[in-house]
Amino acid sequence: MPDRVLVTGAGGYVGRHVVRSLLDRGHEVVATVRPSSRAEVDLRATIVAADILAPDFDVNTLSDTPFDGVVHLAWQDGFAHNAPSHMEQLSSHFRFLEALTDWGVGRLAVLGTMHEVGYWEGAIDADTPTNPLSLYGIAKDALRRASFVHLAPRVPLQWLRCYYILGDDLNNQSIFTRILTAAAEGKTTFPFTTGKNRYDFIDVSELGDQIATVSARSDVTGIINCSSGVPLTLAERVETFITDNNLPITLEYGAFPDRPYDSPGVWGDASQILAIMADEPAK
């Protein structure tokens, strides 16, 4: 059944795709963006400019009645893994989620990250121990732990753990962004590592569909991997990207050493999300 859904961080890299996917599925969406944001959000949504992490922010200003569901994606400096803001705003995120719970929203879905886990070799599932190695991972892991201890007893809670995202590549500040920039500058080679490490890559549009689908399920709670479940070497994925985009650029293998703290292979166990997607009625 169509729901009234609040999406925070709707103007962000992932948020725009989640809003679009929820609307395509017939849901009514209220999308929050930062007051200074110029992001293009699907105009079918009700767009609200608000600083939801401000100490005096009142969730009641978002709607006359609590939402059926909330998808909390808002997060500052998500591409800068050791930015101080991750720790500085941790309490603000928890305060906001607690206020939504107290208000009486139907369910909460919060975006997590594989960086909560830290160094790991192989598939990550809901029971994989966490030992984050960046401020981003530490803050997300702390929010997850606090939310399941204090909020999950009162509201259905989903922690949507995402992996390596690509697509919409001019906006994701990834290696794919840097390759596009290099090609646009007329460069014909791109310095690279050995590219042997294997990762779980997912297109941001597909990720948006996964988040929209699972966040509408009140019968699914806990940690859910939003991922492909298919490990590919970095070299395979980047070479495919170069070919798909017809870029006149060649990778210069071995120009940079592989980072010693990177796992030789890490990916999400996607069995649960694939089953959820297979169970979704046709749009």
Active-site pick, 13, 136, 163, 199: 136
> Residue 283 has what pLDDT?
52
Which helix (H) or strand (E) element contains residue 208? Answer: helix 204-215
Sheet containing 46-49: order of strands = 46-49, 28-33, 4-8, 69-72, 108-113, 157-162, 222-226
Note the pLDDT of residue 12: 93
C-alpha to C-alpha distances, 103 to 4, 66, 73, nearest whole angstrom: 15, 6, 19
Per-position pLDDT tens, the chain of length 283: 789 999 999 999 999 999 999 999 999 999 999 998 777 899 999 999 999 999 999 999 999 999 999 999 999 998 899 999 999 999 999 999 999 999 999 999 999 999 999 999 999 999 999 999 999 999 999 999 999 999 999 999 999 999 999 988 777 778 899 999 999 999 999 999 999 999 999 999 999 999 999 999 999 999 999 999 999 999 999 999 999 999 999 999 999 988 777 889 999 999 999 999 998 765 5
Query: Token digits for 47?
Result: 């767009």
Separation between Cα atoms, residue 25 and residue 283, nearest integer Å: 6
Confidence (pTM): 0.94
Q: Are 39 and 11 in contact (CB under 8 A)?
A: yes
* DSSP β-bridge partners for residue 232: 199
What domains sit in the chain, N to C, each tagged with a CATH number? 4-165+201-227+267-278 (3.40.50.720), 166-199+231-252 (no CATH)
Distance CA 65, CA 105 (A): 9
pLDDT the model gives residue 258: 83
199 is catalytic: no
pLDDT computed for residue 179 by the predictor: 94
Q: Is 256 exposed, middle or buried (0-12, 13-18, 19+ CB in 10 A)?
A: exposed
261 exposure class (CB count in 10 Å sphere: 0-12, 13-18, 19+)? exposed
Gap between the Cα atoms of 223 and 241, Å rounded = 30
Query: Amino acid identity of 81?
Result: H
- Calculate the CA 157 to chain-centre distance: 16
Distance of CA 147 to the CA centre of its chain: 17
